């Protein structure tokens, strides 16, 4: 491999590969050398209690907090030295916990801000696709984003991330603060996105949502992956059912 070459040999060229990821907050080790892969077109979920290290894992992958990793790549490109601001250009769409929309801007301008890395010629088609996925956003495209309901704001946050046409969509607790009915809407959206072949990495405390929208899951506890398997397997695991489903 030549100097400056960010391609990693021997890896699935369409995968997110995370190997030996470690994240520290001061003297606290929030993520303890975890490894996993999200394959092309795969939907992968991470569940766990508060403080398990789920969000720290996402923020570490995205470079939002300091981290170390033996391998961190998307499509074979080494991400370890890239700033967080460069991740969108590399094909990662991020839906943060708490949505972080721009409440004083109209819905459509919020969406267009998600396409800041792209030329306008392609944005119109992508905007039409987002409006097809979320018809309510088209109806409210001139309304200030701060006037939307919580569920509509979550749809806006997802739509904004999709405007960059990511290869991998990363979502952090998209069900937070939503009613069960609105959670069902998010489930439907994630299922539709998965059917299009988009790769998804989902962090959630809502295990039911995770099992309904992903093909494979990890359970995190104290910064480590303690269980892994198909979503259907973990859904039927007695310990997982007791701790995360209350059954």
22 within 8 A of 194, measured Cβ to Cβ: no
Q: Is residue 185 part of a domain?
A: no
Residue of 46 and 115 predicted with greater confidence: 46
pLDDT for residue 94: 95
Q: Is residue 146 part of a domain?
A: no
Instruction: Tell me the average pLDDT across 190-195.
Output: 94
Is the per-residue pLDDT at 212 higher than 90?
yes
91 within 8 A of 82, measured Cβ to Cβ: no
pLDDT for residue 43: 95
Q: Is residue 77 part of a domain?
A: yes
Q: Is residue 32 part of a domain?
A: yes
Angle formed by the axes of helices 180-195 and 120-133, nearest 10° = 130
Euclidean distance between CA atoms 175 and 144, whole angstroms: 22
Average pLDDT over the chain, rounded to an integer: 89
Q: Is residue 42 part of a domain?
A: yes
Express each pLDDT in 127-166 by its tens digit.
999 999 999 999 999 999 999 998 999 999 999 999 999 9
> By residue range, what is the domain housing residue 70?
1-91+207-247
Q: Is residue 226 part of a domain?
A: yes
Q: Is residue 241 part of a domain?
A: yes
DSSP string, 142-211: TSBGGGS-HHHHHHHHHHHHHTT--SEEEEE-TTTT--HHHHHHHHHHHHHHHHTT-EEEEEES-HHHHH
Is the per-residue pLDDT at 9 higher than 90?
no
Structure token pair of residue 26: 């001061």
Say how many domains are in the chain. Answer: 1
33 within 8 A of 69, measured Cβ to Cβ: no
Quick one: which of 14, 94, 6, 8 has its CA closest to 57?
A: 94
With cut-offs at 50, 70 and 90, classify the pLDDT of residue 2: very low
With cut-offs at 50, 70 and 90, classify the pLDDT of residue 177: confident
Where residue 217 sits, what CATH number does that domain have? Answer: 3.40.50.300
Q: Is residue 218 part of a domain?
A: yes
Euclidean distance between CA atoms 221 and 49, whole angstroms: 7
């Amino acid at each position: 491999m030549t100097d400056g070459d960010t391609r990693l040999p021997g890896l699935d060229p369409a995968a997110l590969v995370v190997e030996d990821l470690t994240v520290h907050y001061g003297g606290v080790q929030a993520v303890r050398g975890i490894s996993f892969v999200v394959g092309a077109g795969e939907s992968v979920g991470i569940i766990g209690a508060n403080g398990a290290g789920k969000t720290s894992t996402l923020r570490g992958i995205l470079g939002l907090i300091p981290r170390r990793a033996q391998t961190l790549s998307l499509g074979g490109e080494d991400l370890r030295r890239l700033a967080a601001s460069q991740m969108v250009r590399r094909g990662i769409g991020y839906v943060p916990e708490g949505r972080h929309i721009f409440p004083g801007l109209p819905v459509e301008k919020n969406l267009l801000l998600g396409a800041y890395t792209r030329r306008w010629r392609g944005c119109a088609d992508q905007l039409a696709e987002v409006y097809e996925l979320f018809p309510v956003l088209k109806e409210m495209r001139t309304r200030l984003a701060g006037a939307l309901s919580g569920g509509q704001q979550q749809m806006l946050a997802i739509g904004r991330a999709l405007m960059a046409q990511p290869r991998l969509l990363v979502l952090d607790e998209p069900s937070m603060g939503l009613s069960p009915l609105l959670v069902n809407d998010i489930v439907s959206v994630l299922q539709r996105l998965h059917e299009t072949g988009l790769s998804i990495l989902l962090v959630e405390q809502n295990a039911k949502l995770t099992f309904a929208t992903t093909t494979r899951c990890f359970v995190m506890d104290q910064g480590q992956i303690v269980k892994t398997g198909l979503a259907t397997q973990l859904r039927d695991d007695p310990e997982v059912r007791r701790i995360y489903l209350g059954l």
